[in-house]
Amino acid sequence: MSDKIGIGIIAGRDSDLFVKCINSIPENIGTIMVVNDDPLGYSSSLYPDHITKVFKNSRPMGKACCKNTLLRGLIQDGCEHLFIIEENHQILKPEVFSEYIRHAKATGIWHWNFHSFSKANQQEDGSMNPRQTIDYGDGVEVDFFPAVIGEFAYYLKGIIRNVGYMDERLSEANCLENIEHTYRITRLGVIPPFWWFNDIANSSDYIKREEFPEELETRVRIAVGLFEHLYKKKPEEIEDPKAEIVLKRLDFIQENYSKS
């Protein structure tokens, strides 16, 4: 397995946040690509020289299309480990990328998301509230959360090769593309079941997220309608398996997909 890392950044909403994001990523990490979804774009001076490629959309394409542009570009560049990051995220510790990869190799789980900032995954005081935490040993500790967030995501190239890219029909709504894609991956049996979304423990020590003001209600309604058309159920109607079933799946995944 190649260990080449590729990082794709979705930009186009806030140039100040983009600068914070790109400046927080180590220059020598691997391939770095950016897609700007704002037709007006950013000044070329905001793109440092170590960016491999910048894609500039002539019209807003939405997250699903932007993610696919980046995933395809990174795979074509020979990257094995694929990170997709929205520009409102900053890297606090540069080893975050190697930590996600290390956790993936130890557990056999080859798709991860940064979940811990979501209020749906927190207690009232803002502390993390995972459904379960599993210690795999050797400093590999995994939190499992009830809500899936796709703004910072890690994929092994093989996951994309087997499950495909984001469904671009969700670009109109510009949301839930990660939920539909994650659901497809869960159906392959190669990551934990839906409603048990994995993240490395203490991930908020490695990543910072800033809020974007946005109105989601109408967009979510459109996206849920498409999801229901595809799967004959809404996301909230997906079965939540019992813990013992999840643990059996995790044992199977580690036995079959972990890498020493």
The mean per-residue pLDDT over the stretch 173-201 comes to 95
Q: Hey, how many other C-beta atoms are within 10 angstroms of the C-beta on 232?
A: 8
The SS3 of residue 218 is helix
Amino acid at 6: G
Q: What is the DSSP string of 173-205?
A: TTSSHHHHHHHHHHHHTSSPPTT-EEEETTGGG
pLDDT score at 1: 61
Please determine, looking at this structure, whether the domain spanning 5-257 carries the CATH number 3.90.550.10. Answer: yes
C-alpha dihedral, 117 to 194 to 183 to 121, nearest 10°: -10
pLDDT score at 233: 97
Amino acid at 135: D
Where do the domains of the chain lie? 5-257
Percent residues over pLDDT 90 in the chain: 85
Q: What residues form DSSP beta bridges with 5? A: 81
pLDDT band at 115 (very low <50, low <70, confident <90, very high): confident
Q: Tell me: the pLDDT tens digits for 122-156? A: 888 877 789 999 999 999 999 999 989 889 999 99
Q: Tell me: the pLDDT tens digits for 222-238? A: 999 999 999 999 999 99
pLDDT score at 140: 97
pLDDT band at 112 (very low <50, low <70, confident <90, very high): very high
pLDDT band at 211 (very low <50, low <70, confident <90, very high): confident
Q: Tell me the pTM.
A: 0.95
